[in-house]
Chains A and B, each alone.
Chain A
């Protein structure tokens, strides 16, 4: 029964502590949300390679390397591979044989190929074709790179698959590989085969 300090524990203490908890929780949620959004934005480009897939193909009209003119609209009703390339692009050189092979094998079944030759000189381009195998398809000259931008090209090479309705249905980033041809191009060819 000794003297006791006349101090009473403050029963009103909890609210402030609770408020601090709420603030901490809000901060954590905000940081997590921000992280999720950022992660979504950074990872987004991998998940959806092109905003153009599923959309009508952009127009492609212009001078070709061999001096003629080309208009994609005239190929409506055909399955078209649009290949963006340049003579200064090493992977483009490597994929050239495969494209040639595809043209030979699938051409009779209705596959057409057109190139977009980006920021190239006609001389360089022609010597490239002479070395890598002369393509049996036209290439539209794109000295400023505006056609490539029109198609939403990030880097060379890129290849777009346009179906018979004129819709972009697929895009290959980098070198085309045989698997993409058999798994993606061939089914589209078979879809509306006459």
Chain B
């Protein structure tokens, strides 16, 4: 149990051998892993500002029901909460401790205490997350003492999340920080309650509302009652998680930490198929879930047959496509593109780790010439790659859309669509086909855009500024 009682889990680099920079063929990555028994860490000698664990942590917390957040740091560290997605959550409440210079020298426990108390008094949330920031990490402010002092005075359960912005180069580590904190402060401590019927945790982290609804619908068709955690969950949902009959993961990169914790510590079997992306991918996910929970094979087959018939035309057939997506999405979409008759010519992921060895082997076999770019927010590298590849279409997460448009390449940002499950595959195909068939906006931008980069940059290799780290 001890590792789950620590302040924070190890970084993705230490725990999973994650790397966040690179531009290599799968063959080379696999060879490297074979020779060194790990991916070698890489660094950039020129970099662009990117996300961090604090931002990922806030993104996850802001989707939870009945929760309030104290961002313990200077005011700028809470700005991500003005994101449109967060502001569209009814009742989202947060406070920033607004640390000043004196606090950085003398400590800031007083204002942390006041911030927690004021949120508790005012909004009566079930949970108050305390998210730490680089300043607090460097000064080593004693958050736990403050929490210990006031926890008994207030109704909300306090959940400190120890993000620091610099220990990991993998922003997604922020999700693990929150999941670790939820497990440590809620799930382990929860007393068993009586529940009427068996249910499954659906571990959902960054999925769009449409995706949660779609997967919930499919699981309901299999007769499974679902407890979605932690996204949209309230305190009760989390406290009941250990009593679930199964945990079912959606995105394997994101759900693994909590799924494994529940399995190891509470004996809740963790079912983690590949991401349910695309018709075939969704059918595989459903079959794996059905098998794990002992559903009738016929029931699964019936759903698959009903649902998969709907995607008929392949309007992006023949298109050359690049993808810049979270790792599970990027690998998962390759099959879907193939099914749609499109050719994946470029792939960019924010990070890679040892969990992706199997996927790299598949890509090596199916797309031997496809170099995998690893980097989050490194727009200059993506610009270089996209200019070389000149794809017909770019499928991406929203932050990566502008770079393609500037080059005249139509782009579809998937985050706001919800592309999982059968209905998600249809939505994705519809958006992709539209962008491809009517590229006027991108074409217009491409004609008039100016590049922020020197011409000489485009003549260099995309990984020119990536070096192996000297230990």
Partners in one complex: no
Write the residues of chain B forming the contact surface with A, with a CB cutoff of 8 angstroms.
none
> Contact residues of A with B, CB < 8 Å?
none
